[in-house]
Amino acid sequence: MTLTSYIFGIVSAAMVLVVVIELLRRRQLRERHALWWLIAGTLALVVGIFPETLAHAAGLVGVEVPVNLVFFVSIGTLFLVCLQHSAELTRLESKTRSLAEQAAIQDLRLRSLEQRLSAEANDTTGN
């Protein structure tokens, strides 16, 4: 590993952590969404600082090429993020549908009351 790639790995991982923390600080990212990115950034930082840990982890898992372990973990992390977002999207769609139904019922009740008041006003002015 060259010094340039070593420094690039550390700086890239640190930048991921800084960006995620800044988004959390500005409340543009919620904690439960940031969790996977913080884990991935921390793992990348550890591997960037101690590259031999990747080779050791690959050996423990039985992966011959350490970079393949990086790809596998990255794909797994992205899968978990997508799964988390899909679950939240499903929950929000259900809530949106329920709110739209409640709004439609309230609108129907309001129109019914307006028609009744209009009819009563016409009855009192017509007598």
- Return the higher-pLDDT residue of 101 and 121: 101
Average pLDDT value over all residues in the chain: 92
Q: How far is CA 9 from CA 37, 45, 71, 125, in A?
A: 16, 7, 15, 82
- Three-state SS at 21: helix
pLDDT tens by residue, 45-79:
999 999 999 999 999 999 999 999 999 998 998 89
Is 55:48 a contact under the CB 8 Å cutoff?
Answer: no
Q: Where are the alpha helices (DSSP H) in 26-65?
A: 31-49, 52-61
Give the mean model confidence (pLDDT) for residues 17-42: 91
Which pTM does this prediction carry?
0.69
